[in-house]
Amino acid sequence: MNIQIGHDTAIVESKKQLITGTYLRNAWYCAAWSETLGDNGVLGVTFLKEPVVLYRQGNGEVAALEDRCAHRFAPLSMGAVIGGNRIQCPYHGLEYDKTGACVLQPHGNKNIPSRAKVKSYPAVEKHKAIWVWMGDKTADPATVPDFSVMDNVPALHTTKLDKIMVKANYELVVDNLLDLSHTSYLHAGILGNADTVESEITVLQDGTDITVERHATNAEPPGMNKLMWPQSPPRVDKITSIRWMAPSTLRLVTGICPIGEKPETGTGYHAVHILTPETDRTTHYFFTAVRYNVKTTDEALNRDIQEKIGKMRRFAFEEQDVPVIEAQQRIIDESQTAVDPLTLAIDVGPVRYKHILKKLIAAEQAQ
């Protein structure tokens, strides 16, 4: 296995990779796919251990508030949108606007106590998702992680906007995604095979982003690739590149092409992997995929491919990755001693991102 490393190599050493239990707060976190909220929709989502209610106002904009009424702590997410811009508590009818201020108290003299307010969070919709800013610094919508691969693409070539819950810390899921050597084992036949074990790995750093590339040459196309390109050559080059953007979003591109040719001559998909910590031990995992350079022209076939890619990817994550990740979490939690994993050549990506994330969190906490 040949490994090329961009920038310094000093951090590629064995380190204790303990789960931090803390979060980077000044960051955009995906709360939901936009379509989940709908018109006048209300949705309660917990992330970074904070219950948040999202609601869509009459003008289409999403508001995000603490999901806990100031009166007796009923969840506002059990309430409804009133008058196009307020959310009404289901218990005794207090109404809050998008700033979290109580604007109607229907009882007694109808006075609104000064403490009648809840926390509000900046929220934006971008790349078909709702993003919420959890920090104290000014939220800049331009810093939402770049998933523009999902914008303005034919619906036929995009899989379902999907989501699963994982009973593990989000860092174990990032570790899984940044080390794609596991596809040859855990996803053998679907996403990888024996031919893709031998891959050239390149790790590059761009600002605080990390990209891990794996290129296998003269390999049999894995099942997912054969599905997308039934007429592919019997042996191909397989490219995979995954970019981690702090704290927990990943954008992947993977595909096959004729041996020795440029990747653009082949076909594959851009994959979106968005992780939002719900708690220290539970993670929202949002995912979808968008095909590139589609070579199949028959619409019925493309519809079939679209559905199968969506199902195969969900199967791979839910039935293959998640059981191992959740078992890892249980073993770490039950361990009587500090966990200090071996570091192999394939771990260069996970080691690098963890180093950056820890630095970002430490810098934020120092402030």
Q: Which stretch binds ligand FES (CB under 6 A): 65-73, 139-147, 182-190, 200-208?
A: 65-73
Question: Which value, to the nearest 10 degrees, does the dihedral of the CA atoms of residues 301, 302, 307, 309 take?
Answer: 110
Cβ-based nearer residue to ligand FES, 71 or 215: 71
Crossing angle of helices 170-178/348-366, nearest 10°? Answer: 140
Nearer Cβ to ligand FES (69/177): 69
Q: Which is nearer to Fe ion, 246 or 322 (CB)?
A: 322
321 touches Fe ion (CB under 5 A): yes
- Of 69-77, 109-117, 254-262, 357-365, which segment contacts ligand FES by CB under 6 A? 69-77
In the complex, what is the shortest distance from the CB of residue 44 to ligand FES, in angstroms, rounded to a whole number?
14
Burial of 354 (0-12, 13-18, 19+ CB in 10 A): buried
Our CA angle for 206, 207, 213, nearest 5°, is: 25
Binding mask 24-63 for ligand FES (x = CB under 6 A): ----------------------------------------
Tell the smallest beta-carbon distance from residue 108 to ligand FES (Å).
13
CB under 5 to 8 A by kind: which of Fe ion, ligand FES, none does 321 bind?
A: Fe ion
Q: Is 303 strand, coil or helix?
A: helix
Angstrom distance (rounded) from CA 90 to CA 238 = 54
By C-beta, is 75 or 135 nearer to ligand FES?
Answer: 75
Of 285-324, binders to ligand FES (CB under 6 A) are: none
Number of residues that bind ligand FES (CB under 6 A): 9
69 binds ligand FES (CB under 6 A): yes
CB of 6 to ligand FES, least distance (A): 53
CB of 118 to ligand FES, least distance (A): 10
Q: Does 125 bind Fe ion (CB under 5 A)?
A: no
What is the H or E stretch that residue 244 is in? strand 236-245
Interface pick for ligand FES out of 48, 87, 89, 305 (rule CB under 6 A): 89
Q: Which is nearer to ligand FES, 71 or 119 (CB)?
A: 71
Binding segment toward ligand FES, per CB under 6 A, in 12-20, 50-58, 89-97, 147-155: 89-97
Determine phi and psi for 80, rounding to 5 degrees.
-140, 160
74 counts as binding ligand FES under rule CB under 6 A:
yes
Task: Find the shortest distance in angstroms from Cβ 321 to Fe ion.
Answer: 4
Beta strand pairing status for 267-279 and 209-219?
unpaired
Question: In what order do the strands lie in the sheet containing 80-82?
Answer: 80-82, 86-88, 95-96, 102-104
Query: For residues 37 and 102, which CB has a smaller minimum distance to ligand FES in the complex?
Result: 102
Residue 346 contact, options ligand FES, Fe ion, none, Cβ 5-8 Å cut-off depending on partner type: none
- Residue 343 three-state SS: coil
Query: CB-wise, 117 or 273, nearer to ligand FES?
Result: 117
Give the torsion sign (CA, 171, 176, 177, 180).
positive
Name which of residues 91 to 130 contact ligand FES (CB under 6 A). Answer: 91-94
Q: Residue 268 — φ and ψ, nearest 5°?
A: 180, -145
The H helix count followed by the E strand count for the chain is 6, 19
> Partners of 272 in the beta sheet?
251, 288
Residue 285 φ then ψ, to 5°: -120, 105
CA dihedral 10, 333, 170, 339 (to 10 degrees): 10
Per CB under 5 A, residues contacting Fe ion are: 321
Per CB under 6 A, residues contacting ligand FES are: 69, 71-72, 74, 89, 91-94
